[in-house]
Amino acid sequence: MTFAYKYPRPATTVDCIVFGLDEDELKILLIQRALPPFESHWAIPGGYVNIDESLEKAALRELEEETGIGNVFLEQLYTFGDLGRDPRGRTITVSYYALVNLFDHIPHADSDAKNAGWFSIDNIPPLAFDHNKIIDTAIARLQGKIVYEPIGFELLPKKFTLLRLQKLYEIILCKKLDKRNFQKKILRMDILTQLDEIQKDVSHRAARLFQFNHERYLELKKGGFVFEL
Amino acid sequence: MTFAYKYPRPATTVDCIVFGLDEDELKILLIQRALPPFESHWAIPGGYVNIDESLEKAALRELEEETGIGNVFLEQLYTFGDLGRDPRGRTITVSYYALVNLFDHIPHADSDAKNAGWFSIDNIPPLAFDHNKIIDTAIARLQGKIVYEPIGFELLPKKFTLLRLQKLYEIILCKKLDKRNFQKKILRMDILTQLDEIQKDVSHRAARLFQFNHERYLELKKGGFVFEL
DNA sequence: ACAAAAGTGTTTGTTGTACACCCATGC
DNA sequence: GCATGGGTGTACAACAAACACTTTTGT
């Protein structure tokens, strides 16, 4: 059975850049393709959009199918549609990016993938299709966005120390920040809940744990507050 | 002749929100559809992507065909692909937004349109498809973007007064700005060239004209400068 | 002379930035 | 007792915000 149209149509895919924060590096989840084209090449997870599912649903489904990851922060990134970006024929891809807690997700290859793994963004191999370009776009977006929207928390566990949060910004923005100034700034915003809990299993004085207060943030935002680092 | 595929494919379109700045209002260029679906409804210009043209080329072509507008600032906005957004069948649309000097473009209906015109963003009629939603997205993007990228100039003639530039920001951001503070801030950036020319044909003291210095901006940007209002 | 907008400085408060030391804990 | 990060305050500079009057020009 085939589907026929009066005019030729590009194929439509979704691709998903998954960011995770390792101890000292920002990483991206890649899969190794099991099938041509670009068999054995590394690529970002993605696939064809079904005719009866929304773009976001398609992105979530592909993510789940290829990496087992679900229930994550997901946002549309950009749509790439240049001629020749897919050797199988004209294909446009709607890309999404996701932020996950890397330690919650041990990559395992699922359908269509012979392998999966986290790659440091400083060490991305040549990828299938125009995926290197997509990743560059995603990194730029992430760097732009974390300074004016509180999305960085999505990369951390629920409870975290202020130093860990600071490291997150340092890693993503590629620049050192001053500890005291950072803490003053972020605490002044009043969007973090200080917990009655401290770090465990560290070989030095244990730090206070904090939690992002999403409800508080929404309240403040309604009143005109804008997160800005 | 038809084109057949193994799996069903969504149709792919591009749509283009064209912003123009009238004396006291931000406006959007709309066309009145000559054909079903939504015949006689107002809509944003757009149409099907040809199989052999990039998305951006398609957006530029549709803009040219339907409104006669060419050579403009154009940037991808967002891709809308919900089920049911087009009664003809599954269609995803890659939307773009353009910034033009409104006084350079007297709207005239071209192909597929029985009419064309500028509409104040405070007075947009119910549009075809999900175009009202697309416009909302475009306005939010524009408001977010003009404060940290110098794109507002695209809405003005080459030469403009500082008050006109200030009005631009006031109109788009929907808030009053202080004249002296605004001038200090924008001049301190050193991205405007002061011309040896003043306004003509005004019934009051004529103001100095300025010009956006794009080369200077790129230089500064390379050195880490970020435009911010 | 009057209407309309141009042009221009200062003060005050807030925030950014730079910087250094003692503290608590685990090993 | 030492290594590691935790936790804290202050001084100075820069910028944001608020504010009012005189000048120029055309009608």
Q: In chain A, which segments carry CATH 3.90.79.10?
A: 11-145
Cβ of residue B101 near strand C, that is under 7 Å?
A: no
Cβ of residue B2 near strand C, that is under 7 Å?
A: no
Residue of B53, B76, B92 best to disrupt the A interface, most CBs of A under 10 A: B92
Q: Does domain A11-145 have CATH number 3.30.230.10?
A: no
Contacts of A127 (CB under 8 A, 6+ apart): A30, A41, A42, A43, A44, A135
> Closest Cα of chain A to B148: distance in Å?
11
The residues of chain B scoring below 70 in pLDDT are none
Per-residue pLDDT tens digits for B177-224: 999 999 999 999 999 999 999 999 898 999 999 999 999 999 999 999
Predicted local confidence at residue A176, as pLDDT: 95
The residues of chain A scoring below 50 in pLDDT are none
Q: Tokens for B179?
A: 């004249």
Contacting residues of B for A2, CB less than 8 Å apart: 4-6
Burial B73-108 (b: 16+ CB within 10 A, else e): ebebbbbbbbeebbeeebbbbbbbbbbbebeebebe
Predicted local confidence at residue A110, as pLDDT: 78
Predicted local confidence at residue A111, as pLDDT: 76
Q: In chain B, which segments carry CATH 1.10.10.10?
A: 158-222
Q: What are phi and psi of A9, to 5 degrees?
A: -125, 140
Which residue from B5, B51, B78 is facing A3, i.e. has the nearest CB? B5
Stated in angstroms, how far is A204 CA from D1 C1'?
A: 14
Fold of domain B158-222: Arc Repressor Mutant, subunit A (1.10.10)
Predicted local confidence at residue B124, as pLDDT: 98
